[in-house]
A = this chain, B = another copy of it.
Amino acid sequence: MCEANVYMEKNGIEELVLESVDILEPQENDTFRMVTIFGEQKIIRGRLKGMNLVDHRIVFTAENE
């Protein structure tokens, strides 16, 4: 399966937000809806920093520059 783990970077430190994310969709107001392969949903607020799919990593940052 090709799901990814979503991390939030705050002050240079990454924290795992949600594992096994399949669907990621931008919503309003800098939020993103995530759905895991198990059907769990979660909303994250932040800015997309980057993703590395081969490493199963999607990183957001809390900074709004």
Instruction: Say if the beta carbon of A37 comes within 8 Å of chain B.
Output: yes
Interface 1/0 per residue, A10-47 and B, CB below 8 Å: 00000000000111111000000000010000000001
Copies in the complex: 2
Q: Is the interface of A mostly helix, strand, loop or mixed?
A: strand
In the complex, what residue of chain B is closest to A59 when comparing beta carbons?
B25
Is the beta-carbon distance between B23 and A56 smaller than 8 angstroms? Answer: no
In the complex, what residue of chain B is closest to A52 when comparing beta carbons?
B23
Contacts of A37 in B (CB 8 A): 54
- Known A-B contacts A2-B2, A2-B56, A56-B2; the reply to A50 vs B22 at CB < 8 A is no
Contacts of A48 in B (CB 8 A): 26, 48
